[in-house]
Amino acid sequence: MSVSDMKNQPLYKRFGFAWRGLQETWRSERSLRVQLWFAAAALLALAVLRPALVWWALVGMTIALVLAAELINTALEHLVDHLHPERHPRIKLVKDCAAAAVLLLSLAAVWVGVLMVLSVAEF
């Protein structure tokens, strides 16, 4: 199947491709599983604290951003390892930058969570 044939698949098939990517990343990447546990904890905190809907939106968006960054990081690592399996300083930099993006978004998610807790806490 050519690349152009793959790009014009029906929507249900494209969802299948995405689902398989998520399954494979779940299976192979401990970091995604850890991030999903943090996401579950954040959702539990939302259910317990019952903040305003804007907090549900912010927490949901940060969860999605962290998980998406983790998936992009994984895809980039697999691509780079396939194209350049030898160790190289520039390849290391590419991987480190992608990992740093996940870290930055994770820290932002923690920031949002702390602010949410402070906004609903009664002092």
The residues assigned a catalytic role are 70
- Helix, coil or strand: residue 85: coil
**Closest by CA position to 80, among listed 94, 70, 96:** 94
Task: Give the H/E segment covering residue 93.
Answer: helix 89-120
Find how far residue 54's CA is from the centre of its chain.
Answer: 21
